[in-house]
Amino acid sequence: MKLIGTGTVDFIQVNYSMLEPEAAEQLLPLAREKGVAIVTNRPFINGQYFPLVTNHELPGWAKEFDCHSWAQFSLKYILANPAVNCVLTETTKTKHALDNLEAGYGRLPDSATQLKMLKLIRSFM
């Protein structure tokens, strides 16, 4: 946050996801205010996200924001934050890369839905 305040950076890379949402509290709003772009990483926490959701059905209300998979659920949560400019994903499979890309299409969840998403994922923990 100190570095952002100095005005010497154009962008930063930060961990941000439903399992690591802390950056949304102060860092992301400050970056947005100062015009610093945000690149997020670890949307799936190096694979830790998927065991949490594997035995659960994607909620029907995910269709309200054009979400069709658990990967998209995570990515759309991140992309819906207005401070986020780029999400780095990790995969070695083409089908997963294509699924990840689809998260960038269609509607994004609003802030109330983002909270609902976060609550749902936390209920799986």
- SS3 string of the chain? CHHHHHCCCCEEEEECCCCCCHHHCCHHHHHHHHCCEEEEECCCHHHCHHHHHCCCCCCHHHHHHCCCCHHHHHHHHHHCCCCEEEECCCCCCHHHHHHHHHCCCCCCCCHHHHHHHHHHHHHCC
32-49 pLDDT per residue, tens? 999 999 999 999 998 899
73-89 pLDDT per residue, tens? 999 999 999 999 999 99
Which listed CATH number (3.40.1350.10, 2.60.120.380, 2.60.40.10, 3.20.20.100) goes with 7-123? 3.20.20.100
pLDDT reading at 7 higher than 90: no
Residue 103 confidence class, pLDDT cut points 50, 70, 90: very high
Q: The whole model's pTM is what? A: 0.94
